[in-house]
Chains A and B, each alone.
Chain A
Amino acid sequence: MAGSSLIEARAVDLGYGREVVLRGLDLVVERGDFVGILGPNGAGKTTLFRGLLGLVEPLGGRIERGDTRLGYVPQESTFDAAWPVSALEVVALGDRRQGLFGRRARREKALEQLARVGLTERARQRFTSLSGGQRQRVLIARALMAEPDALFLDEPTSGVDLPSQERILRAVTELNADGGPAVLLVAHQLELVARAAQRFLWVAEGRASEVTADDLPGLFHPTPRAAGGEVSHA
């Protein structure tokens, strides 16, 4: 893996059992990257994410992560609400360190991460009592606890109001711009992603292709010409 590369995927097939969902993925994520991942529902964006995170083993090809530390922000709706955890506890769960010791340091670090997403005053509040946007920011703070080199966000703006979407995206953009982690972000809102990301991955019909910002409107609202394969698959 090259020096600045965090993740390298070469000719990777991803799927479940024998069913291939995504074929021939080639992707190199480097420090400072902000990759927006877009595509229709059910196209395989989540499978791509899970493959890069190591949650799904490739059916073919190889994915190298080296010593890259990964941070994962799932959709807040996948977070099981049956657990009566406070916002601070959720964030502290993101710490990689094991065991009972260092609880005070972990707590202070968790408070710092909550401050980074502007939620210090909600630290003691029960996670389920927060708004959708606040919950999503708490999950971002949790991912930051792991001091990730690459931050994966799975539709962090889905189901939250517009001001919250803006706030979430601003927080992520600032993290990325400050020499922080590379960001891989799955989202449906083209305008939001187009503003923040530098690179774009379009996932459709079992393929993931790197495209430019100019290609995106045509892909989202395809004319017969664009839909016919204007964008080549990697």
Chain B
Amino acid sequence: MPSPAVLAELQLGELPLSLVWSLFGLSILATLAAGFVAPLVGSFLLTRRTGFLGIVLPQFAAAGVAFGYLVLPFWTEHLGHLLDPVAHGDEAHLALGYHLLWAGLFTALGLALVALSSRRRDGTDTGMMAAAFAIASALTVLFAHGSPVGDIYVHGLLRGEILAIDEHELEILTGTLALVALGVVLGARHLTRVGIDPDSARVLGDRPLLWELFLALLVGATVSVSVMTVGPIVLFGLLVIPPLVARAFARSMTSFLVLASLLGGLSAAGGVWTSFTFDWPLGPSVVVAAALLLIPALPRLFGRGR
């Protein structure tokens, strides 16, 4: 093993593979898990013409994480007995439950805003989403600015730096994403039926509102758990781009979901490789890898008929 002084001089790509794996192995696994699962949820956002949520909700979740840091002193003093925000055994990181609480709350706030805005189809809905994204972005920076402890963490989160996570966080992330994937597999038929033609779904006995809530739950869980382990930028890319590419080639809903998931996994793997090879931040690397997949799809996306 090289000495710390030598390590400090090395580019990430020059580090021994075993060292990279021991330092970032869990984060890489987290990114790959998000890569395979986030596009499944993103596929339903895209087909429901709400692909912009793939950008807005992660930003809300990031604002929630930053807000958690802002209120940390207050929380520790008054509410610490309810949920200890400090991770035991590693005081440099906050406990995952604390992050999850705020990310989840802010994601739910974003989803509620979407539900309210979607009643208006005169442009108010998309306008509100654009405004919400701008506000959530600004608040993320301001919340973090108000918390010296959180500023570095949130800055790294927003830049898409690879984030060190522990085994417990990986378990939570993969466990949640596994449940989300199971939810998509079990609910795909009904989510599709309700999304394509709500009236016919009602005639067949479906309750569209319940399925809307189910989808919101899947989206909320994916976003709030993923955002503080892989960061919002990775989510931006994974929720939106792989489904967009997959839809251009898919001839059925099944092939669409499978292809979107595979392309998401490929984007995550490509992003990890690029990040370590060129010493780029992981988040943008994953998005760039996903964007490269867009190129072969462009003729179909802009062409007439499919």
Give the chain B neighbours of A50 by CB distance below 8 A.
Answer: 199
Give the complex CA separation of A81 and B192 in angstroms.
12
Give the distance to chain A from B182, nearest Cβ to Cβ, in Å: 11
A83 in contact with B252 given A55-B202, A100-B185 (CB within 8 Å): no
Interface residues of B toward A: which range?
20 to 34
Helix, strand, loop or mixed for chain B's interface? helix
Give the distance to chain A from B214, nearest Cβ to Cβ, in Å: 14
Contacting pair A129 B192 (CB below 8 A): no
A164 within 8 A of B: no
Partner of A79, one of B196, B255, B305: B196
Give the chain B neighbours of A143 by CB distance below 8 A.
Answer: 200
A159 within 8 A of B: no
B141 within 8 A of A: no
A126 in contact with B49 given A54-B203, A84-B256 (CB within 8 Å): no
A114 within 8 A of B: no
Q: Which of B151-209 contact A (CB under 8 A)?
A: 185-186, 189-190, 192-193, 195-197, 199-200, 202-205
A70 in contact with B203 given A93-B192, A93-B193, A126-B306 (CB within 8 Å): yes
Give the chain A neighbours of B193 by CB distance below 8 A.
Answer: 93
Q: Which of A122-168 contact B (CB under 8 A)?
A: 124-126, 128-129, 142-143, 146
B124 within 8 A of A: no
Q: Which of B241-289 contact A (CB under 8 A)?
A: 247, 250-256
Contacting pair B185 A128 (CB below 8 A): no
Give the complex CA separation of A71 and B47 in angstroms.
25
A1 within 8 A of B: no
Give the chain A neighbours of B305 by CB distance below 8 A.
Answer: 129
Q: Which of A84-129 contact B (CB under 8 A)?
A: 84-86, 88-90, 93-94, 96, 98-100, 124-126, 128-129
Point out residues on B near A: beta carbons under 8 Å.
Answer: 46-49, 185-186, 189-190, 192-193, 195-197, 199-200, 202-205, 247, 250-256, 305-306
Q: List 16 A-B contacts (CB under 8 A).
A: A53-B199, A54-B203, A55-B202, A72-B203, A80-B47, A80-B195, A82-B49, A83-B192, A84-B252, A88-B252, A90-B196, A96-B204, A96-B205, A124-B252, A142-B200, A146-B204
